[in-house]
Amino acid sequence: MRLRRARYAGSLYTSCARWRGGGLFERNGERKKDCMLRVYCEVLAVIVLLRGVLESIERRDSDLARQMRRAAASVALNISEGSGSRGKNRGARYSNALGSMRETRACLDVAVALGYIAVVDAEVARQIDGICGSLYRLSH
């Protein structure tokens, strides 16, 4: 699916129709594409990919799965909050999102170390690293 640029050419804002199941919101009875950061869409796509992994971890360690679920949700929520903030608050929200994304990755690493899952999918790991890079740039 092709992403459309928002009104600021060259910015990181895009129309979020990329992740499966999202990007369109109801407003006054009409469907409207929401303009947001591309990294937000990427986080939602990673969360979709992690659903099966979370279920596998939860069968062995519900506390670790719960912490990972909260951390992954926190990434998306902090990105959304940061995109509506100004000044230092914006950077702080993106920094919080970065910390939560790293926590999500650490939960995956712990699950592998404890034998709850075999390995982290290379594509998911690459996407998480890309998200961390984007959030680092946004927070500084």
Answer yes or no: is 80 within a domain: yes
Answer yes or no: is 101 within a domain: yes
DSSP string, 68-84: HHHHHHHHHHHHHHHHT
Answer yes or no: is 32 within a domain: no
Length of the chain: 140
Answer yes or no: is 17 within a domain: no
Percent above pLDDT 70 for the chain: 74
Q: How many domains does the chain have?
A: 1
Q: Which domain holds residue 100?
A: 38-139
Answer yes or no: is 68 within a domain: yes
- The predicted structure's pLDDT at residue 37: 83
- The rounded distance, in Å, linking the Cα atoms of 138 and 83 is 10
Answer yes or no: is 9 within a domain: no
- The predicted structure's pLDDT at residue 9: 33
| Range with lowest mean pLDDT among 10-24, 42-56, 68-82, 116-130 | 10-24
Sequence-distant (6+) residues with CB within 8 A of 49 are: 121, 123, 124, 127
Answer yes or no: is 89 within a domain: yes
CB of 46 closer than 8 Å to CB of 131: yes
Q: What is the CATH number of the domain that holds 108?
A: 1.20.1440.60
